[in-house]
Amino acid sequence: MTSVLEHLVSGYSKLVQWSDTRSRYFPFMGSPLPIITVLSLYFWYIFDYGPKVMKNAPAKDITNVMKTYNLLQIFFNFIGITWGVILWNDTKLLCTPITENILVFPHYMYFLLKAVDLIDTVFFVLRKRFDQITFLHVYHHVIMLVGSWVTCNYFPGGQLYFLGFINSFVHAVMYLYYYLSLVDPSYKKSIWWKKHLTQLQIAQHCTVFVTFLIPLLNPECSYPKWILMSYLPACALMIYLFTDFYVNAYVKKKPPKAVQ
């Protein structure tokens, strides 16, 4: 038992020591314990505690809270877009190595946005929209949060700029749709909005896939190949899941459960 504990402590110390000194001291960075805690509470609430509490309770009317939340998401994702435009000339699609210090803080802010995105699922629980807590929804939120934490903690900046820039734009549009649907419920019935929003999300993941593939095939690119190789299958799965959702919702004419 002592040996096992020693190995655990040693492994934990190495995880902290391996973190990038530029991002190590930001909140939630350095140690993996904060992010593990956040995800543990997330899973516990959406799959256990939340459904139990809401089972016999009426759905919560949190329209005003959601309006504020969506406006804040639009605002902060717009900041992400602005950062992307400012940093455009400092990046290259062929290869953006981890040498640009200016990319570290935007990368961290992007991670915080992915953490805030988890609130989407909490809203589903409070509104008793349990059918919208799909594998696609949960996988999308979790993989984006974990991926942004790992890269920001150990390899901040670099090629992941393209993912953050593109994703910020898509999320700004997505939360605009969510806000408009709260202001005017007729938007919820608009297949045009939902259909093209899903198309935009598919295009997003296809584009991001290419931004990972190009530096992977570039032998002169110093960005860690293993990160690109780990992101590619995750991105391919996202393309498949969103395409499958699109086909079932709009090609086979089945009512969609949720748009991420």
The pLDDT tens digits for 77-86 are 999 999 889 8
Instruction: Please give the pLDDT value at position 185.
Output: 79
Domain assignment present for residue 135? The answer is yes
pLDDT in tens, 29-50: 888 899 999 999 999 999 999 9
Q: Say which residue the tokens 């690119």 belong to.
A: 221
Please check whether residue 221 lies inside any domain of the structure. yes
Look at residue 24 and tell me whether its pLDDT is greater than 90. Answer: no
3-state DSSP helix/strand/coil % of the chain, to nearest 5: 75, 0, 25
Q: What is the DSSP letter of 89?
A: G
pLDDT digits (tens, 9 = 90+) for 140-161: 999 999 999 998 898 888 888 8
Torsions phi, psi for 96 (to 5 deg) = -120, 95
User: Is the pLDDT higher at 20 or at 130?
Assistant: 130
pLDDT at 239: 93
Average pLDDT over residues 180-201: 79
191 within some domain: yes
Beta carbons within 8 Å of 6's beta carbon, 6+ residues apart: none
Count: domains in the chain: 1
In a domain, 258, yes or no: no
Amino acid sitting at position 130: F
Query: Has residue 260 been placed in a domain?
Result: no
Give how far Cα 179 sits from Cα of 39, 51, 76, 153, Å. Answer: 26, 25, 14, 32
Which residue has tokens 């993996």? 32
Q: In the predicted model, is pLDDT for residue 258 greater than 50? A: no
What is the model's pTM? Answer: 0.86
Q: Is residue 95 part of a domain?
A: yes
Please name the amino acid found at residue 77: N
Average pLDDT, the chain: 86
Q: Closest by alpha carbon to 197, among 215, 212, 214, 179?
A: 179
Q: How far is CA 206 from CA 9, 88, 94, 174, 212, in A?
A: 40, 20, 16, 17, 10
Residue ranges making up the domain that contains 127: 2-251
3-state SS class at 20: coil
* Residue 215 domain flag: yes
Considering only CA atoms, which of 204, 206, 190, 174 is closest in space to residue 250?
190
Residue 119 covered by a domain: yes
